[in-house]
Structure 1
Amino acid sequence: MSRFTTQLAAGLLLAPALLAASAVQAHETGDIIVRAGVVAVDPQENSGNVYVGGANTGLEVGVDSNTQLGITGTFMLTDHLGVGVLGATPFKHDIQLKGVGRFASIKHLPPTVTLQYYPMDKSSVLQPFVGAGLNYTTFFSEDLSSAAEGLGFSDLSLDDSWGYALEAGLDYKLTEQVYLNATVWYADIETTATFRTASVPSKVDVEINPMIYMASVGYKF
């Protein structure tokens, strides 16, 4: 057998192993994927009317959007199931009292945990996923505007919220460890804002229900 034939035969025998080695595994059991990037929260609010001392004023509130730095983590339970966690730096929103103007500013954190499903084979370069889980939103730094305080408003407080969350996303493999990611969530966030109007107890119920968008770079450990 010639040297060329021997080399060719060896190459053919090694080809499956080389192909297997080149088929870099994307997401598989035990992997930890950390993604960091920008997160935008876009409230789709539906406000009830403001009540002052039990009387309906007919006024409503609105909540603006905000963008912050975000981080997510996924632990792969199997090749197709993972547990995902969403975190971010605090979001800040202005609250508008419709017909009056800027009413207050608030901050919140929306940590979210989901069970994720990855339908593709673990060797796929593209890894779409969907998830469902639980969102907890805590509000803090509730500050009334000077204009609102001048009108006699005081003592603003927002209740924390528990609700469901849905997500859909896509990881695109650049290298063995590095990914590009885009993810969107819908979070069920409902809160009651309580305050005082000229010392009279007042409140308004708000369904914030934001769409949350994230573009990030991921790293697999």
Structure 2
Amino acid sequence: MKKIIFSTILACLFFFNAQAQEEETTDDDYSKWQVRARAVAVSPAPYFYDAISGFDVEISTTFAPELDITYFLSKNIAFELMVTSSKHDVELNDGTRLGSVSLIPPTLSLQYHAYLNDFKPYIGAGMSYVIFNGTAAGDLDSIDYENAVGYTLQIGIDYNLSEKWFLNLDFKKMFLNTDVTANNDSTNTAEVNIDPLFLGFGVGMKF
């Protein structure tokens, strides 16, 4: 799966670069700052990193607001900071409820933007520091998720409505694993891959 995503990113980068070379490259009239507000569907794809016979973990898909700020180093290269918070229900496939947890994953990405008339496709890659907050233990006495670093791949497109406003469609795949400890007992610690997918749609403003 990771090889497919990396291959897609590289193919998109080649296409965007070829398209950009066909356009004027001396135009310095671009906005250095952009802000987007999105509604995102956050869909984890969890599994135990170490095989635990007979058990699978399930984490619910949820919807959340998201905000990002983008700063352009040049017309094509930019940094994006994304912040959001999503709450998920967690359980095992045998029906054991592991309560709920909120993910707060601030993410800093380096992006490449192309310009195709009113469309501006982009790709990016970055790092995330995920904070697990607001945990509820469900059928357990307690449960703890260790804050973790992940990495993120991104592809999206902006569509200009005017010189200032635009629509945005954005796709992010985060690769993330964390240690989960039940009942404050270190012998009950399991490494879980969460690997959420973020699919967002929203509106942005240039300034």
Quick one: distance in 2 between partners of 1:33 and 1:168? 17
3-state SS in 2 of match to 1:154: coil
Matched, 1:215 2:181: no
Aligned to 1:134: 127
CA RMSD of aligned residues (A): 2.2
Quick one: distance in 2 between partners of 1:205 and 1:80? 38
2:74 is aligned, of 69, 78, 93, to 78
- The CA deviation string for residues 59-115 of structure 1, in whole angstroms up to 9 with x for no partner, is 332111111111111111101001011112x21111112212322111110111101
Aligned to 1:44: 45
Contact 1:111 1:137 in 2 (8 A): yes
Contact 1:135 1:188 in 2 (8 A): no
- Aligned-pair distance for 1:161? 1.3
- Aligned-pair distance for 1:37? 2.0
- The CA deviation string for residues 112-154 of structure 1, in whole angstroms up to 9 with x for no partner, is 1101101226xx3110000011111110111112xx1xxxx32
- Aligned-pair distance for 1:30? 5.2
Quick one: distance in 1 between partners of 2:44 and 2:186? 29
Superposed counterparts of 1:157-172, under 5 Å: 157-172=144-159
The gaps in structure 1 that reach 5 residues or longer are: 1-25, 51-55
Quick one: distance in 1 between partners of 2:169 and 2:41? 12
Superposed counterparts of 1:1-221, under 5 Å: 31-48=32-49, 58-88=54-84, 90-120=85-115, 124-145=117-138, 148=139, 153-196=140-183, 201-221=187-207
Quick one: distance in 1 between partners of 2:177 and 2:96? 22
**Whose Rg is larger?**
1
Aligned to 2:20: none
Q: How many pairs are equivalent?
A: 181
Quick one: distance in 2 between partners of 1:116 and 1:143? 36
Identity %: 27
The gaps in structure 2 that reach 5 residues or longer are: 1-26
- The CA deviation string for residues 38-64 of structure 1, in whole angstroms up to 9 with x for no partner, is 0111111122468xxxxx664332111
Report the TM-score, using the length of structure 1 for normalisation.
Answer: 0.75
- Aligned-pair distance for 1:29? 5.2
Which amino acid in 2 is paired with 1:136? Y
Q: 1:200 to 1:69 in 2, by over 3 A?
A: closer
3-state SS in 2 of match to 1:175: coil
3-state SS in 1 of match to 2:162: coil
Which amino acid in 1 is paired with 2:75? D
Q: 1:125 to 1:62 in 2, by over 3 A?
A: same
